[in-house]
Amino acid sequence: MAKFEKHIFVCGNVRPAGHPRGCCDPAAKAELQVLFKQKLAEHGLKGRIRANQAGCLDQCEHGPTVVVYPEGVWYGQVTPGDVDEIVQSHILSGKPVERLRLADNCLNTAHCEHRQRS
Ligand code: FES
């Protein structure tokens, strides 16, 4: 069996309401990951591109957070309506969706102007 060409890790971490860091899946429904899997299947990418439910990716204040490897492109504030665009543009055409992309200097820092919560 061929190895996967890419992995899409979708944070599905759930924290209690009112937690200071929030969480990426307050409804605990894994909606984004399910949608990624559906869209990948629709485009015939099952077995080539894998969408995995992930625990906390430690970029909670930018959530819901998604990261695509091997290129290491991070997305923040991803909504269900963004999933098809990420699959079409990034996965199929190799063009990351810039409007959703987290800049490298926004990752793993306590101080970022784009954070939803601080
Ligand atoms: S809860 Fe999603 S990145 Fe931490």
Residue 117 confidence (pLDDT) above 60: no
Query: 3-state SS of 45-90?
Result: CCCCEEEEEECCCCCHHHCCCEEEECCCEEECCCCHHHHHHHHHHH
Cβ of 59 below 6 Å from ligand 1: yes
Domain ranges of the chain: 6-18+26-103
Helix (H, G, I), strand (E, B) or coil at 101: strand
Which of 14, 60, 77 for mutating ligand 1's site (highest number of atoms within 8 Å of CB)?
60
Residue 86 confidence (pLDDT) above 70: yes
Residue 118 confidence (pLDDT) above 80: no
Percent of all residues in the chain with a pLDDT value above 90, rounded to a whole number: 86
pLDDT digits (tens, 9 = 90+) for 30-39: 999 999 999 9
Query: Of ligand 1's atoms, which has the minimum distance to the CA of residue 24?
Result: 2
Cβ of 57 below 6 Å from ligand 1: yes
Q: What pLDDT does 112 receive?
A: 77
How high is the mean pLDDT of the chain? 93
Q: State which fold the 6-18+26-103 domain adopts.
A: Glutaredoxin (3.40.30)
- Distances in Å between the alpha carbon of 118 and those of 24, 113, 115? 15, 9, 6
Q: What pLDDT does 111 receive?
A: 76
What are the residues whose beta carbons fall under 8 Å from the beta carbon of 46, sequence distance 6 or more? 40
* Global confidence as pTM: 0.93
What are the residues whose beta carbons fall under 8 Å from the beta carbon of 77, sequence distance 6 or more? 62, 63, 64, 100, 116
